[in-house]
């Protein structure tokens, strides 16, 4: 990849890295205060390129495609902050960043509603077989329309939605589900307050009870060592054969091979996936199936929201460089004082 230097750079400006393409206006804004090494060509940096690009910069804007760990930070002696353009930060090794004296930030809140909208959209597309229906038309099958022979789906209205991971986005999905007359059950590391449960109309269940009872299950939890393969063959076996499973959280939370095998065997009705183990690769077994709706990690992808995420990442970076506390600081115990 080619890292472009700002041609109008001056020695006085601190140097930063923008590791993925961002909106031109945002780049221009950064260039008023910083010497910017940008990657508007948007080729994902290799670990070696990332390590080199971080050396000599005071801050960096990155996305989930950049893994920030001890290796990436070796030689990044001037680095004060890495601002993720993403709410999830499983691409950050927080202990390694903290040990290297580097602040870590993410972009919460600005994407909550767009991501919750998308979760609901993917759930509807999955349950009502929307992409399969489109393929049906494109394959010239509309003349085979019949009362019983269309792609017949599962209802959302008045069904039970199980949400695993009840942070801001999970709660946003729960509130949307209420409009469909759905019963909402949830599982989370910690229970919501009674007031929050009431606002979401949600009932807490163990993971196992949720899987047994839900007609639709949606995953919105962060990816950690503990949440790896939260859903595998054992968990799918607990689900109803008519159930759907939607993952808008992170690849690795679902065992994609076990899911593909279960979908093929009809152990559950269908799945909707926005995230994948090892993305951008998709397990080839999933690609062979009709009863899975696939999306390329686009839950936050509206123009307004992506602009909001970039703006918040810039605000975080600027604050750290100015010696202020970034608004969405993650390693707050060390740098938040
Ligand atoms: C996030 O912000 O974590 C999303 O997954 C990125 O689109």
| DSSP string for residues in 242-278 | T-EEEE-S-TTSB-HHHHHHHHHTTSSSEEEES--TT
Closest CA to 83 of 111, 55, 49, 60: 60
* Same-domain status, 34 and 158: no
Q: Identify whether the C-beta of residue 107 lies closer than 8 Å to the C-beta of residue 312.
A: yes
Q: Is the pLDDT of residue 82 over 80?
A: yes
Percentage with pLDDT > 70 across the chain: 97
* Same-domain status, 104 and 117: no
* Same-domain status, 239 and 325: no
- At 4, the pLDDT band (50, 70, 90 cuts) reads low
Q: Is 59 exposed, middle or buried (0-12, 13-18, 19+ CB in 10 A)?
A: buried
* Same-domain status, 122 and 234: yes
* Same-domain status, 64 and 120: no
- Which of 104, 250, 273, 300 should be mutated for ligand 1, with most atoms under 8 A from CB? 300
* Same-domain status, 218 and 311: no
Q: Identify whether the C-beta of residue 103 lies closer than 8 Å to the C-beta of residue 326.
A: yes
| DSSP label of 43 | P
How confident is the model over 97-107, as a mean pLDDT? 98
pLDDT at res. 12: 82
Nearest-5° Cα angle at 90, 2 to 165 = 140
pLDDT at res. 149: 80
* Same-domain status, 83 and 167: no
* Same-domain status, 317 and 290: no
| DSSP label of 64 | T
pLDDT at res. 150: 82
Q: Is the pLDDT of residue 200 over 90?
A: yes
pLDDT at res. 11: 61
* Same-domain status, 220 and 248: yes
- At 87, the pLDDT band (50, 70, 90 cuts) reads very high
> Ligand 1 atom 3: the closest Cα is on which residue?
88
Establish whether residue 111 lines the binding site of ligand 1, counting it when its CB lies within 6 angstroms of any ligand atom.
yes
Atom of ligand 1 minimally distant from the CA of 86: 2
**Distance separating alpha carbons of residues 297 and 87, to the nearest angstrom:** 13
Establish whether residue 319 lines the binding site of ligand 1, counting it when its CB lies within 6 angstroms of any ligand atom.
no
> Ligand 1 atom 4: the closest Cα is on which residue?
86
**Distance separating alpha carbons of residues 267 and 245, to the nearest angstrom:** 11
* Same-domain status, 56 and 181: no
* Same-domain status, 266 and 181: yes
Separation of 330 CA from ligand 1 center, angstroms?
Answer: 15
Q: Is the pLDDT of residue 1 over 80?
A: no
Q: What is the pLDDT of residues 149-195, one digit of tens each?
A: 888 999 999 999 999 999 999 999 999 999 999 999 999 999 999 99
How confident is the model over 83-99, as a mean pLDDT? 98
Provide the residue range defining the domain that includes 281.
112-294
Establish whether residue 86 lines the binding site of ligand 1, counting it when its CB lies within 6 angstroms of any ligand atom.
yes
Q: Poorest-confidence range of 4-18, 137-151, 245-259?
A: 4-18
* Same-domain status, 128 and 237: yes
Establish whether residue 91 lines the binding site of ligand 1, counting it when its CB lies within 6 angstroms of any ligand atom.
no
pLDDT at res. 231: 98
Q: What is the pLDDT of residues 10-52, one digit of tens each?
A: 568 999 999 999 999 999 999 999 999 999 999 999 999 999 9
- Which of 86, 113, 172 should be mutated for ligand 1, with most atoms under 8 A from CB? 86
Q: What count of Cα atoms within 13 Å lies in the side-chain half-sphere of residue 234?
A: 4
Name the domain count of the chain.
2
81: domain CATH number is 3.40.50.720
- List C-alpha distances in Å: 124 to 6, 166, 213: 45, 20, 19
pLDDT at res. 276: 98
Mapping DSSP onto H, E and C, the string for 188-250 reads: CCCCCCHHHHHHHCEEECCHHHHHHHCCEEEECCCCCCCCCCCECHHHHHHCCCCCEEEECCC
């Amino acid at each position: 990849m080619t890292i472009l230097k700002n041609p109008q750079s001056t020695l006085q400006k601190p140097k930063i890295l923008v590791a993925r393409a961002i909106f031109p206006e945002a780049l221009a804004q950064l260039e008023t205060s910083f010497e910017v090494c940008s990657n508007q060509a948007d080729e994902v940096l290799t670990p070696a390129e990332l390590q080199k690009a971080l050396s000599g910069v005071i801050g960096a804007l990155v996305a989930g495609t950049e893994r920030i760990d001890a290796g990436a930070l070796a030689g990044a002696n001037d680095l004060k902050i890495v601002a993720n353009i993403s709410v999830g930060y499983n691409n950050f090794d927080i202990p390694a960043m903290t040990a290297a004296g580097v602040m870590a930030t993410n972009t919460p809140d600005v994407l909550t509603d767009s991501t919750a909208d998308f979760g609901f959209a993917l759930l509807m597309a999955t349950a009502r077989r929307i992409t399969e229906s489109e393929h049906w038309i494109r394959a010239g099958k509309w003349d085979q329309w019949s009362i019983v022979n269309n792609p017949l789906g599962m209802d959302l209205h008045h069904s039970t939605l199980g949400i695993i991971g009840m942070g801001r986005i999970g709660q946003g999905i729960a509130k949307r589900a209420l409009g469909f007359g759905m019963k909402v059950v949830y599982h989370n590391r910690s229970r919501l307050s009674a007031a929050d449960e009431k606002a979401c109309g949600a009932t807490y269940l163990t993971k196992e009870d949720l899987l047994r009872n839900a007609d639709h299950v949606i995953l919105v939890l962060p990816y950690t060592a503990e949440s790896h393969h939260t859903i595998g063959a054992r968990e799918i076996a607990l689900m109803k054969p008519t159930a759907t499973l939607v993952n808008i959280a992170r690849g690795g939370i679902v065992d994609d091979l076990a899911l593909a095998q279960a979908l093929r065997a009809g152990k559950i009705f269908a799945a909707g996936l926005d995230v994948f183990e090892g993305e951008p690769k998709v397990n080839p077994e999933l690609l062979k199936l009709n009863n899975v709706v696939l999306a390329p990690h686009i839950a936050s992808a509206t123009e307004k929201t992506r602009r909001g995420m970039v703006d918040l990442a810039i605000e975080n970076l600027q604050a750290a460089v100015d010696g202020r506390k970034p608004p969405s600081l993650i390693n707050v115990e060390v740098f938040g004082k």
